[in-house]
Amino acid sequence: MKELSELNLPDDVRYAESHEWAKPEGDKVKVGITDYAQDQLGDIVFVELPEAGDSFEKGEEFGTVESVKAVSELYMPVGGEIVAANTSLEDSPERVNNRPYSDGWMIEVKLDDASEMDGLLTNDAYLEKLKG
């Protein structure tokens, strides 16, 4: 397990209290799980993601991630329509452990309400929550 000071928490993404991240890219948002979440889960062996075209509200479950330790639900940090799922995770789920903010992204979402991004945590606020 990493110490909190060792966590990779980029400042160009926002964080949900349920340990997902959201990174704006134009009118879409990429979503995945945080470095903290993947570290706590351990070796990830399976990721279940939704199909493009599915829609979810903020806070709704959109998939699961299975590690050698546990199965955890994934929750939408923002509401919207899934425009892409990272299907490469089907064959290489370890990408989530190795590079959670780049190769390990999970879904791309077309936002229903861009203001929902404002309700997510900055990296400093997320780190404070983890310390809490």
User: What are the tens digits of pLDDT across the range 84-131?
Assistant: 999 999 999 999 999 999 999 999 999 999 999 999 999 999 999 999
Q: CB atoms < 10 A from the CB of 131, how many?
A: 7
Q: What is the CATH number of the domain that holds 49?
A: 2.40.50.100
Structurally, the chain folds into a number of domains equal to 1
User: What are the tens digits of pLDDT across the range 14-68?
Assistant: 999 999 999 999 889 999 999 999 999 999 999 999 999 999 999 999 999 999 9
Give me the pLDDT at residue 130, please: 97
Give me the pLDDT at residue 27, please: 87
**Containing structural domain, residue 101:** 4-131
Helix, strand, or coil (residue 14): strand
Return the residue matching tokens 């900055």.
122
73: Cα separation from own chain's centroid: 11
In DSSP terms, which residues pair with 20 in a beta bridge?
33
Return the residue matching tokens 């404070």.
128
Return the residue matching tokens 């903290």.
36
Those residues whose C-beta lies under 8 Å from the C-beta of residue 127, and which sit 6 or more positions away, are: 4, 7, 9
